[in-house]
Amino acid sequence: MSFGLKVPVLEAGKAWFLSQLGKYVPGKVTLFLVRLDAYRGYSKRKVAVATGVEYIALLASASILILVALASASQIVPYYIQWVAGVGTFLFLLILWPPLSMRLVNWGFKLLKREPIEEFPSYGLLLKFVGAYIFASLLNGMGLFFAINSLSPVNFTYFLIIAGIYEAAGLIGIAAVFAPSGIGVREGVLLLILPIFIPKPTVIVSTIAIRLIATITELFLSGVFVVAEKIWAKQNERIITEKKNV
């Protein structure tokens, strides 16, 4: 909404979940194409900028969570890795700063000979996006933690470390454009790091389980929003028809 992309909640939910399914196509360009299709009638520039800002907020939240996880594991993680996470957090939060963001975006549009954007969300709202992503990432990390804990007891003090490693593995999976939704890449990173303090068989079973659960959940929610949006649209059409007949 902050970019003028004002759509009903059900339609926005359908657009978001369907676009997430684009991750399962190699190259991940489909994610953006599906979102463009979902927001037909709106400026493609605004959809592109909104999607870009969403990803920067995602990267900023991931950097923060990874930084916190590394801090909680400072005794086993080299300091230079903590510095990388700290610098990444600073850079992504800086890029989200509206005056700088607008300048970078409009500079890109100028190179592409496109009209510049004239509105941008406030920094406070963008930080709320970051906070929302951190909360979602913690929930994802909790899912993996409980999956591991159901097979091999793990002290809760490892929760942030597991959540941070899971988030880092997810980012590497996103970067691997050849892998649909980072399949194999994310799991490979988890299998490389988690066995340091968790039995390897437990890591293998839990990572496969959490992948299946995440995929089924995305498919289920996509279906729910598609059906709910169609029902809502039909009800609106019926109400409009009844008003015309009165």
Closest CA to 210 of 176, 175, 173: 173
Residues of the chain with pLDDT under 50: none
pLDDT of residue 79: 62
Per-residue pLDDT tens digits for 55-64: 788 878 888 8
Closest CA to 117 of 95, 96, 102: 102
pLDDT of residue 2: 58
Distance from the Cα of residue 24 to its chain's centroid: 14
pLDDT of residue 78: 56
pLDDT of residue 27: 59
pLDDT of residue 146: 92
Sign of CA dihedral 124, 125, 129, 135: positive
pLDDT of residue 240: 72
Whether 225 and 10 have beta carbons less than 8 Å apart is answered as yes
pLDDT of residue 148: 92
The domain limits of the chain are 9-245
Closest CA to 162 of 212, 128, 202, 217: 202
Q: How many CA atoms lie within 13 A of 189 on its CB side?
A: 18
pTM of the model: 0.76
Closest CA to 129 of 2, 35, 5: 2
